[in-house]
A and B are shown apart, each in its own frame.
Chain A
């Protein structure tokens, strides 16, 4: 298996945007790119969490063993002689449309607006949707993996997928935590929290809503 430019058993050389990057076995393209200071946009990625692959903003073009493919950089494992292109016509088109989809939900999100400028995404392309959650899952995963409280989770599926707080757990844990609020690219998380608080928290703790 040792051939070409491989120096140690676990070190792999890949090419990202024409630049040679040293990566370790088991790394993803995104990790390798970040190590080499090459920027790949992400929305659902967070260094403390397992990569999720839901937003697809990190889609890049890869070429290996004669095959060209479009893959999610946050999940695709590096391999020897992998060639990666973080920008291309196809990649840019994908990112632009993903942004336009999400801007129909949350046109005022700062993260989306910054990326929209870069990719020329038009926030008025699609009719405005009422739900302003972009279902990136950062809140759900943070609560499950880092805080291990599972106070918020996903419900429903398909186009109706949304986040939902578990009233019993949220009423006990969230007021002293709220670390996930800072991760939310829109403010839907706070809105969902106060909604659950006002509608579903057990009677004693709902007093806090009126006191605020």
Chain B
């Protein structure tokens, strides 16, 4: 911002026809002064406001969004739409938090038709508050590009979020206490993180990848996620085919597929052979198998996701397995796994940002006399203790 040029926040307001709009009108008629930054849209009920409207507002340059409705239990409709507005606001605030924007930019107030002064007072407090927060994104340290793709990620997810909310995040009773208790409670936070938070991270990754391919390290830096978390999300993406992956050595892979052309019964053997040869299964290879062996892709996806034997994203250059069979377990393999994870900085099932190592916990290979052990690239390192782990792993580049 150039010096001397003050920031004028742009605020979008959704005011309900029966109460808040009338209240705002009364404030105007009674000459109660308030800053002119709010652009008002009249809706019939605050419950009409949809997360899509809110985020469209943010995406088109608004710095804050205001929703005004009737006081709770005074809604002019039997459906008590203002409770819906309340629920939606809680969720949208959490979404804003998740993408790094200040949730104060979204505000919900109850203003009745006769409360002109109240409306003016709210505006007189809200506008300076937003001024202080600064322009959307910039005020939180996000550049224009980051802001854009994050908002895009949320917008794309809204149809899903609405379905999840209506099915899974229903509040048992329509009273203010119950709503507050529910939305500030542990169960809501947990369900939100598991159902929406994770998908939001995925959506952001997808938004980044739509622009251009990114490395794990780049994604991790841009989204503020640890490489371990990014790795986990990429695994999920590959499973649901959000991310497409391509093969490198197509000739030998095609050789295997053509050997079994038309033989749907050989599906499992073909997948195993390619996994053994190529170390992972590129998405386009699965498509080819589906066509050549005449089996539905859904069947292939079920088999390849059935067990961690099959990898859908490339492994690291070195493959580390920590045996977690019962004999190794009672001999202390959990401590071994902990020390490996601490040393390399990510968890089993993930790969490090430089693709040097990938870590997996293995099922019992039947070498119980060697336990507890780590197997790297097929080589057994037997009867290990946590202090020896460093020596074993430092040899692998």
In the complex, A touching B (Cβ < 8 A): yes
A residues with a Cβ closer than 8 A to B are 106, 108, 128, 130-132, 140, 144, 150-157, 164-169, 186-188, 190-191, 194-200, 203, 206, 209-210, 212
Q: Is the CB of B298 within 8 A of A195?
A: no
Task: Knowing A106-B167, A128-B187, A166-B301, say if A209 contacts B156 (CB, 8 Å).
Answer: yes
Contact yes or no, A150 B298, CB < 8 A: yes
How long is the Cα–Cα vector from A203 to B220 in the complex, in angstroms?
A: 24
Interface residues of B (CB under 8 A from A): 155-157, 159-160, 163-164, 166-168, 170, 187, 190-191, 194-195, 199, 202-203, 206, 210, 239-242, 287, 296-299, 301-302, 305-307
Q: A166-B297, A209-B159 in contact; A132/B168 too (CB < 8 A)? A: yes
Task: For the complex formed, measure the closest distance between the CB of B133 and the CB atoms of chain A, giving whole angstroms.
Answer: 28
Chain B residues within 8 Å of A197, by CB: 159
CA distance A153 to B163 in the complex (A): 20
**Smallest beta-carbon distance A140→chain B, Å:** 7
A194 & B240 in contact (Cβ 8 Å cutoff): no
Residues of chain A within 8 A (CB-CB) of B191 are 128, 130
- Given A153-B299, A166-B301, A199-B156, answer yes or no on A190-B163 (Cβ-Cβ < 8 Å): yes
| Other-chain residue from B157, B287, B299 in contact with A150 (beta carbon distance below 8 A) | B299
Q: Are A191 and B163 interface neighbours, CB within 8 A?
A: yes
B190→A130 contact, CB < 8 A: yes
Verify B168–A130 contact, CB threshold 8 A: yes
Q: Are A150 and B156 in contact (CB under 8 A)?
A: no
- B306-A156 in contact (CB<8A): yes
Chain A-chain B contacts (Cβ-Cβ < 8 Å), number: 100
Q: Which residues of A contact B307 (CB under 8 A)?
A: 157
Q: A150-B299, A200-B242 are in contact. Are A187 and B163 (CB under 8 A)?
A: yes
Contacts of A198 in B (CB 8 A): 156-157, 159-160, 203
Known contacts being A194-B159, A200-B242, is A187 close to B166, with CB within 8 Å? yes
* In the complex, chain B residues whose CB is within 8 Å of the CB of A199: 156-157, 199, 202-203, 206, 240, 242
11 cross-chain CB contacts under 8 A: A128-B187, A132-B167, A153-B299, A166-B301, A168-B287, A190-B163, A195-B199, A198-B160, A199-B206, A200-B206, A210-B155
Contacting pair A150 B163 (CB below 8 A): no
Q: Is the CB of A153 within 8 A of B167?
A: no
Tell me if A188 and B195 are in contact (CB < 8 A).
Answer: no
A197 and B158 CA atoms in complex are apart in Å by 11
Closest to B166 in A: A187
Task: Add 19 more A-B contacts to A128-B191, A150-B296, A153-B298 (CB < 8 A).
Answer: A106-B167, A130-B168, A130-B194, A132-B167, A152-B298, A153-B301, A153-B302, A156-B305, A165-B240, A166-B241, A166-B297, A187-B166, A194-B159, A197-B159, A198-B203, A199-B157, A199-B206, A200-B240, A210-B155
List A contacts of B241 (CB < 8 A).
164, 166-167, 200
Q: Which residues of B contact A187 (CB under 8 A)?
A: 163, 166-167
Q: How far is the CA of A108 from the CA of B163 in the complex (A)?
A: 13
B302 touches A155 (CB 8 A): yes
**Which of the listed residues B187, B195, B241, B299 has the most CB atoms from chain A within 10 Å of its own CB?**
B241
Max count, chain A CB within 10 A of own CB: residue among B167, B168, B170: B168
Q: Check B167–A155 contact: CB distance below 8 A.
A: no
CA–CA, A150 to B287, complex, Å?
14
**With A and B bound together, what is the CA distance between A106 and B312 in angstroms?**
31
Interface contact A144-B298, CB-CB below 8 Å: yes
> Are A155 and B239 in contact, CB atoms less than 8 angstroms apart?
yes
CB distance from A161 to the nearest CB of B (A): 9
Q: Once bound together, how far apart are the Cα atoms of A190 and B194, in whole Å?
A: 18
The answer for the CA separation of A130 and B307 in the assembled complex, in Å, is 22
B159 contacts A196, C-beta separation under 8 Å: no
Q: Please name the residue on chain B nearest to A127 by beta carbon.
A: B187
Q: How far is the CA of A140 from the CA of B302 in the complex (A)?
A: 11
Residues of B contacting A210 with CB < 8 Å?
155
